[in-house]
Copies of this chain bind each other. A is one copy, B any other.
Amino acid sequence: MNLLLLEDADFITTDRALLRGRRLQHLHEVHRAETGDTLRVGRLDGLMGTGKILQLGSDQAEIQIELNQPPPAKLPLTLLLAMPRPKMLRRVLQTVSSMGVPRLVLLNSYRVEKSFWQTPFLHPEAIREQLILGLEQARDTVLPEVIIEKRFKPFVEDRLPQLAAGSLALVGHPGEYPECPRAVNQAVTLAIGPEGGWIPYEIDLLQGAGMTPVQLGQRILRVETAVTALLARLF
A203 at the interface (CB under 8 A from B): no
Size of interface on A: residues with Cβ below 8 Å to B: 26
Instruction: From B99, B140, B221, give the contact of A225 (CB < 8 A).
Output: B99
A183 at the interface (CB under 8 A from B): yes
Contacts of A219 in B (CB 8 A): 72, 98-100, 138-140
A163 at the interface (CB under 8 A from B): no
Chain A, range 70-95, C-beta contacts under 8 Å to B: 72, 94-95
- The contact string, 1 if C-beta is below 8 Å from chain B, for chain A 216-235, is 01111110010011111100
Instruction: From B99, B100, B225, B228, give the contact of A98 (CB < 8 A).
Output: B225
Shortest Cβ gap from A86 to chain B (Å): 16
Among residues of B, the one whose C-beta sits closest to the C-beta of A220 is: B2
A137 at the interface (CB under 8 A from B): yes
Among residues of B, the one whose C-beta sits closest to the C-beta of A183 is: B182
Among residues of B, the one whose C-beta sits closest to the C-beta of A180 is: B232
Q: Assess the B232–A98 pair: CB atoms within 8 A.
A: no
Instruction: From B139, B220, B221, B233, give the contact of A218 (CB < 8 A).
Output: B139
Instruction: From B95, B140, B218, give the contact of A72 (CB < 8 A).
Output: B218
- The contact string, 1 if C-beta is below 8 Å from chain B, for chain A 106-149, is 00000000000000000000000000000001111000000000
Cα-based distance from A99 to B72 in the complex (angstroms)? 28
Contacts of A137 in B (CB 8 A): 220-222
Contacts of A140 in B (CB 8 A): 219
Contacts of A233 in B (CB 8 A): 232-233
Cα-based distance from A72 to B100 in the complex (angstroms)? 31
21 contacts between A and B (CB under 8 A): A2-B220, A72-B218, A72-B219, A95-B225, A98-B221, A98-B225, A99-B221, A99-B229, A137-B220, A137-B221, A137-B222, A139-B218, A139-B219, A182-B182, A182-B183, A228-B229, A228-B232, A229-B229, A229-B232, A232-B232, A233-B233
Q: Enumerate chain A interface residues (CB-CB to B < 8 A).
A: 2, 72, 94-95, 98-100, 137-140, 182-183, 217-222, 225, 228-233
Other 12 A-B pairs with CB < 8 A, given A2-B220, A99-B221, A100-B219? A98-B225, A99-B219, A99-B225, A99-B229, A137-B221, A137-B222, A138-B221, A182-B182, A225-B228, A228-B229, A229-B232, A230-B232
